Amino acid sequence: MKRLNQNMTPLFTALKEYHSKNVIPFDVPGHKHGVGLSEFRDFVGSRVLEIDVNSMKCLDNLCNPIGVIKDAQELAADAYWADHAYFIVNGTTAAVQAMIMSACEPGDKIIIPRNAHKSATSAIILSGAIPVYIQPEINEELGIAMGVSVEEVERAIGKHPDAKAIFLINPTYYGVASDLASIVKIAHRNGISVLVDEAHGAHMNFHEDIPDSAMKVGADMAAVSMHKTGGSLTQSSILLLRDGIIDHNHVKTTINLTQSTSASYLLMSSLDVARKQLATKGEEILDNILNLTREARKKINEIEGLYAFSKELIGTSGVYDFDETKLGVNVRKIGLTGYEVYDILRDEYNIQIELADMYNILAIVSIGDTKKSLDALVDALADIAKKYKRDEEIKLKKSILQNPDLIVSPRDAYYSSKRVVPLDEAVGEISGESIMVYPPGIPLVVPGERITKDMVEYVKILKEEECQLQGTQDPYVDYINVLGSA
């Protein structure tokens, strides 16, 4: 197959040409190139607002691209070894929703790991699909979920041969990759489509030392958060499709059910440029990032009580491969929770990391990082381990990962009558809403599941740690909606 010229940026080039013409705008947006929003313009710069424009002939239209957006999407598909690519401006949440809604009709079964992101739960509600949960492998020492095993997938397919799709994560938030290639082969032998949440894998197609991407191993669809590790602006994403089981015209129609008709050209053009950069310079950029991350890991592992885990996990339960750009650090042996280290880094060292859990912190290392930024993190961790270390290491009281009973489909639960009860009194009830820590956005309970004592106790632990909990109508998660009339 002839490869496209990845140095081209058709959408970004067209946007620059439009800007050079100084068009007098009588269309939306109402700020009219920033004139009507001077305070904001003066802070962010006039050019940002001058290119915040609406769909027009020369700039194409995301709902039905036939011009420069179409060309930019074709370049993205080529860069990621896909047959089709769709720009998404509602975040990867919208990409995951479109992916599942394209593959599943109401009542269809979808095999899905219990540590999937909340966007998958919302997609199941929207599509009416029935989740068949599988458990990822657990590393008890680190206290986190790893990937799903091939054997677990085979068991699930054996029990549910009528499943329409399987949903996988590549990689997990902490960088763990499952044996995706083997799982794809098994699924396809059984006529099951493979959908991949590749939110943290925008860079995975561009360096041989990084795990294989979903498209490379033959998955049917993948939702790629280009803004997370690829360099585009926040909220911009790409949905990838391989021809075969799922029709590309149906995917386009499904995307247009939920995607904005006023697509941001700032977001879309950033996708165009970020794709070009990865496709033409990705290997060089990632070489540098991997070297920086490896050096940082080595230094962190020399600090007593800290463990920056990496490729040595490969071959352990649920770990087929590992993405070294995810810098996870286990802090339990210095007697601090990850949440405590997260707060100390932010409040005392002016360092913002991605997330924390009871045992670990996670720093995302991407194309914008430098030796200076990583050295600052390493130095801060060394200082924290010295100043704040406690004698007793942290021991997890309750596991975040449950294997709950799904009593009612998430969609039926969402639309059912509900009543509000105190969280302490919710044990045994069927949940009418989700509870999750954000980030990472993995639900502890989803609509339709029976609430257990372990769930409630774990939520209390998280509240004591002042974690950011989401999903319930009550912002403080003292109460929860359960099924049944008031």
Domain containing residue 304: CATH number: 3.90.1150.10
pLDDT value, residue 20 = 96
pLDDT at 467: 78
Structure tokens at 84: 């089709």
Residue range 82-130, pLDDT digits in tens = 999 999 999 999 999 999 999 999 999 999 998 888 899 999 999 999 9
SS (H, E, C) 150-161: HHHHHHHHHHCC
Is residue 212 in some structural domain?
no
Number of residues in the chain: 486
Q: Considering the domain boundaries, does residue 433 fall inside one?
A: yes
CATH code of residue 465: 3.90.100.10
Nearest to 250 by CA among 167, 157, 127, 131: 127
- Domain presence at residue 320: yes
**Residue 115 Cα distances to 65, 207, 471, 477, 483, angstroms:** 35, 27, 15, 20, 23
Say what the pLDDT of residue 485 is. Answer: 77
Number of H helices, E strands in the chain: 15, 20
Question: Which pTM was predicted?
Answer: 0.93
Residue 431 near residue 452 (C-beta atoms within 8 A)? no
pLDDT in tens, the chain (486 residues): 568 999 999 999 999 999 999 999 999 999 999 999 999 999 999 999 999 999 999 999 999 999 999 999 999 999 999 999 999 999 999 999 999 999 999 999 999 998 888 899 999 999 999 999 998 998 988 988 899 999 999 999 999 999 999 999 999 999 999 999 999 999 999 999 999 999 999 999 999 999 999 999 999 999 999 999 999 999 999 999 999 999 999 999 999 999 999 999 999 999 999 999 999 999 999 999 999 999 999 999 999 999 999 999 999 999 999 999 999 999 999 999 999 999 999 999 999 999 999 899 999 999 999 999 999 999 999 999 999 999 888 876 555 555 678 899 999 999 999 999 999 999 999 999 988 877 777 788 889 999 998 889 888 888 887 778 888 899 999 999 999 876
Report if residue 86 sits inside a domain: no
Q: Which helix (H) or strand (E) holds 171?
A: none
Instruction: Examine the domain organization and report whether 331 and 420 are in the same domain.
Output: no
Inside any domain, residue 307: yes
| Count of structural domains within the chain | 2
Last residue of a domain, one of 387, 402, 437: 387
Q: Token pair for residue 417?
A: 């009558």
Q: CA 13, 227, 326: angle at the middle one, nearest 5? A: 140
Q: Where in the sequence is the domain holding 308, given as residue range(s)? A: 283-387
Same domain, 479 and 446: yes
Last residue of a domain, one of 387, 421, 453: 387
Task: Read off the pLDDT of residues 132-141 as tens digits, 9 standing for 90 and up.
Answer: 999 899 898 8
Which residues contact residue 378 at a Cβ distance below 8 angstroms, ignoring those fewer than 6 apart? 296, 299, 300
What is d(CA 432, CA 449) in angstroms, rounded to the nearest whole number? Answer: 8
Q: In terms of domains, do 292 and 375 share one?
A: yes
Tell me: do 479 and 423 sit in the same domain: yes
* Contacting residues for 317 by C-beta, under 8 A, at least 6 apart: 137, 138, 139, 146, 149
* CB burial string 236-247: b at 16+ within 10 A, e below: bbbbbbbeebbe
Looking at 355, 387, 419, which one is the last position of a domain? 387
Please tell me the distance from the alpha carbon of residue 445 to that of residue 427, in angstroms, as a whole number. Answer: 12
Same domain, 373 and 452: no
382 and 426 fall within a common domain: no
Q: What is the DSSP letter of 60?
A: B
Collapse the DSSP code of 98 into the 3-class scheme (helix H, G, I; strand E, B; otherwise coil) and give the result: helix
Amino acid, single-letter form, for residue 125: I
Peptide bond before residue 29 is cis, with ω within 30 degrees of 0:
yes
